[in-house]
Amino acid sequence: MSTPATINGKEIFALLAEDLSAIEREFGRDTVAGVEAITEIGEYLRNGGGKRIRPTLLLLSAKVLNYEGRGAVRLGAVVEILHTATLVHDDIIDEAELRRGRPAANTQWGNSKCVLAGDWLYMQAFKIAVQERNFRILDTLIELTQQMVEGELLQIEKLGKLISLDEHFDLIYRKTACLFSVCMRLGAILGNATPEQEENLAQYGRDLGMAFQIVDDVLDLTASESVLGKPVASDLREGKVTMAVIHALERCTSAERQKIETVLRERAFEGVTHSEILEILSRYGSLEAAYARAAQYAELARNAICSFPDSEIKRALLWAPEFVVAREK
C-alpha cells in the first residue's frame, strides 16, 4: 500500500507532543524573573492561546534531518519567547485593546511596564540561545531581530499611505516570514544540514510565512470578531494597507479609492462602513486574488522540500502549507 502524501494536524501533534510540552515547560521557566511584573506579564502571555507554529516548524526542520538533541527544545522556547516579545511591542505600537480574545497586556499593566517586559524577553531569548555555544545560531537570531525591528519601523512610516505590492511583501517578509524562515534555518543548523538543505528549509519557511500572513490579512477583513479575538478590519483601522486592498486600489474607480482612503485617514469606519469596503474588494475579486497568491506561496513551500526523503516529518511539512491557506482563524 502506498504511503499517504500528507499527514493531518492531530498526527503532527502526536509526533511532536512530547517536545512541544517540553518547550511549554521551558517557556514557563524561562519567563520567571526577579521582578514580579515581568513574571506576571510573561505568564499572562504564555497562557494566551498561541498556536506555537514557530517552535513546531523548528522541531520539524530538525527532525527531518534526524536531529535528536536537547537543542531543538531550547531553541523552540527561544523563538516563541522572541515572537511573544514582538507581540507585546506590536500591541503597544498599535494601541491594541485585545489580543486573542483577551485584554492586551498593555491594557493590564500599562505601556511602560510592557515595553520593558518585551525588552527583557528579547534579552532572555538570547541568554538561552547562548547555551548552544554556536555563533551561527546567534548571528541568525541577531539578523532576525534586526529585520523584525526594521519591519516595524517601516510599517510605522507607511501607516495611512497607499503602498505598492512589492513594499507590502517586503513588510510581511520582515514582520512574519523572516521568523518562519529562521525557525527552519535553526532546525537545519542543529541537524547539520548541507548548505543546500539549509537553504531549502529556510526557503520553505519564508514561503510558508508569506502565505500565512497573506491569509491572516484576509481573515482580518472577513472573519468575525469572535473568531479573530480582536476587532474586525483592525489593519485598516490602524492605517495598514494589505494585499487585497492594494489589489482593489489598482483597479477601482476614483470614488471607491476615496472611500478606502477615508478609512485609512480617519482610522475608523465612520463615514464609510466595513461592508462598503468589502463590497469594493468583492467587486474586483481582491480577496480571491490574495488567496490565490497565498496558494502560490504554499506551493513554493512544498516544492522547496521535495528533495528530502519521504518520512512522517516530511509529510507533516507538506501538510502545513495546505493548513495555512485553508485555516479560518
pLDDT band at 225 (very low <50, low <70, confident <90, very high): confident
CB-neighbour burial class of residue 309 (10 A; exposed 0-12, middle 13-18, buried 19+): exposed
Domain membership of residue 80 (yes or no) is yes
- DSSP 8-state secondary structure symbol assigned to residue 84: H
Query: For residues 147 and 179, what is the distance between their CA atoms, to the nearest angstrom?
Result: 9
pLDDT of residue 2: 38
pLDDT band at 3 (very low <50, low <70, confident <90, very high): very low
What is the longest distance spanned by two Cα atoms in the chain?
A: 61
Domain membership of residue 4 (yes or no) is no
Residue 164 has pLDDT above 60, yes or no: yes
pLDDT of residue 5: 59
Range of the domain at 116: 9-326
pLDDT of residue 154: 96
Domain membership of residue 148 (yes or no) is yes
Domain membership of residue 88 (yes or no) is yes
CB 219 within 8 A of CB 228: yes
pLDDT band at 101 (very low <50, low <70, confident <90, very high): confident
Domain membership of residue 124 (yes or no) is yes
Query: Looking at residues 172-190, what average pLDDT do you find?
Result: 97
Query: For residues 167 and 143, what is the distance between their CA atoms, to the nearest angstrom?
Result: 20
The H or E element spanning position 271 is none
Query: Looking at residues 15-29, what average pLDDT do you find?
Result: 94
- pLDDT tens across 303-323, in order? 999 999 999 999 999 999 999
The sign one gets for the Cα dihedral 236, 49, 320, 151 is: positive
Percentage of the chain surpassing pLDDT 90? 86
Q: Which residue has the higher pLDDT, 182 or 1?
A: 182
**What's the CATH code of the domain at 312?**
1.10.600.10
Q: Of 32, 27, 22, which Cα lies nearest the Cα of 69? A: 22
Residue 166 has pLDDT above 60, yes or no: yes
Domain membership of residue 16 (yes or no) is yes
Query: For residues 236 and 264, what is the distance between their CA atoms, to the nearest angstrom?
Result: 6
The H or E element spanning position 99 is strand 98-99
pLDDT of residue 15: 86
Phi, psi for residue 187 in degrees, rounded to 5? -60, -40
- pLDDT tens across 132-147, in order? 999 999 999 999 999 9
49 grid coordinates: 492561546
pLDDT of residue 276: 97
> What is the total count of domains within the chain?
1
pLDDT band at 229 (very low <50, low <70, confident <90, very high): confident
Domain membership of residue 281 (yes or no) is yes
> Grid cell 500500500 — which residue?
1
Query: For residues 60 and 183, what is the distance between their CA atoms, to the nearest angstrom?
Result: 10
- With a CB cutoff of 8 Å and minimum separation 6, the contacts of 36 are none
pLDDT of residue 212: 97
Q: Can you spell out the DSSP letters for 127-172?
A: HHHGGG--HHHHHHHHHHHHHHHHHHHHHHHHTTS---HHHHHHHH
CB 137 within 8 A of CB 192: no
Query: Looking at residues 162-181, what average pLDDT do you find?
Result: 97
- Across the strands, what pairs with 99? 102
pLDDT band at 227 (very low <50, low <70, confident <90, very high): confident
Domain membership of residue 134 (yes or no) is yes
Query: For residues 17 and 55, what is the distance between their CA atoms, to the nearest angstrom?
Result: 12
pLDDT of residue 155: 94
- pLDDT tens across 237-290, in order? 999 999 999 999 999 999 999 999 999 999 999 989 999 999 999 999 999 999
pLDDT of residue 98: 87
170 grid coordinates: 517586503
Q: Of 129, 141, 135, which Cα lies nearest the Cα of 86? A: 141
Query: For residues 191 and 11, what is the distance between their CA atoms, to the nearest angstrom?
Result: 22
Quickly count: other Cβ atoms within 10 Å of residue 262's Cβ. Answer: 16
- pLDDT tens across 103-127, in order? 999 999 999 999 999 999 999 999 9
